Structure 1
């Protein structure tokens, strides 16, 4: 049970969805940011950007965000959940392109402390072909997910236990996007 009364059935609106229903005027800009960063036109695929969100959320030990964004990434990456699990377990040996590995290292540094993003990390990403836009957005995705993670965990929201229950919400987000979460009449993408 959340630390505050969110005014919703938490089993229907778990994780970040309950607080967004509680305060829709803040939900809209949060979802607009997620939509631009994770789904908008970009040289990185939506699956790769969701992987960055899942990776940071895992490092922050935010179970809801890590599990949901892992499912969202897996649904959009050819290698699926095995790749997501490999990246989360051991980035160095995971079979991802060198550019993505360098960007994930930047994301991990942001998660720890933004000042730990060093010129060496940025140059390593550039050496692997990362553009300024990709570096910028990796930093912003990591910073935003530190905020989203703390929002979810700071309110003590419900996290469904079964990781397989996140497949349907992944399809829902892929089809409708993050802005659909701000529609009060939208059917919930909540995990079972």
Structure 2
């Protein structure tokens, strides 16, 4: 049960967005730009960054959601997401994506842990300034989203099918459609 009274049975951030739609709109627009906007990183890669940070933060709802969203948009599906979550260093992702995920993990611990060495390593693997910027912002935003969801004690479904259904909606309609629904 959440720490505040929500007039919905929606899980996680969805219930919070219904509680306060005026905050849902800008947060969903931010997610839309970061995770679905124009980028040289694929949507699946950006969702993987969100899932990785959420996993490090132990936010069950966000981890399950964004793992499903990443899996739906990556050719290797959930197997790849699970391998990244289990051990980034042995996961079969590009050296550039590993370097960006290391930056995201540093942000999760503290923005001050993003060192010039981490940035140089990402650049050496071909990461652009925009990719580095967006990785840091995705990681920072998901630290906020994770703390929002867990700080208010929201609930998370146990059934992976619930996340797969949400993934279908996100993949086809995006995050901004959620703003329209909650308004």
Moved over 3 A (4+): none
1:94 aligns with 2:91: yes
Aligned CA-pair RMSD: 1.0
**2:119 paired residue number:** 122
Offset at residue 6 of structure 1 (A): 1.3
- Do residues 4 (structure 1) and 9 (structure 2) align? no
2:17–2:23 contact (8 Å) kept in structure 1? yes
What are the superposed Cα offsets for residues 128-169 of structure 1, whole Å, 9 maximum, x if unpaired?
000000000000000000000000001101100112321111
C-alpha distance in structure 1 between counterparts of 2:182 and 2:156, whole Å:
22
- Corresponding residue of 1:58: 55
Does the CA contact (< 8 Å) of 2:44 and 2:74 recur in 1? yes
1:84 to 72, 75, 81: 81
Task: Say which of 96, 102, 106 aligns to 1:105.
Answer: 102
The 5-angstrom pairing of residues 1-192 of structure 1 reads: 1-8=1-8, 10=9, 13-184=10-181
CA contact (8 A) 2:51 2:67 kept: yes
Question: C-alpha separation between the residues in 2 aligned to 1:184 and 1:138?
Answer: 28
| 1:190 equivalent in structure 2 | none
Change (3 A) 1:119 1:180: same
* Larger helix percent: 2
Q: How many residues align?
A: 183
Q: Deviations over 1:67-108 (max 9, x none)?
A: 000000000000000000000000000000000000000000
Post-superposition offset of 1:185? 6.8
| 1:189 matched residue in structure 2 | none
Alpha carbons of 1:29 and 1:185: their partners in 2 closer, same or farther (altered >3 Å)? closer
What TM-score, normalized by structure 1, do the two folds share? 0.93
TM-score (structure 2 length as normaliser)? 0.98
Distance between the aligned counterparts of 2:11 and 2:64, measured in 1?
12
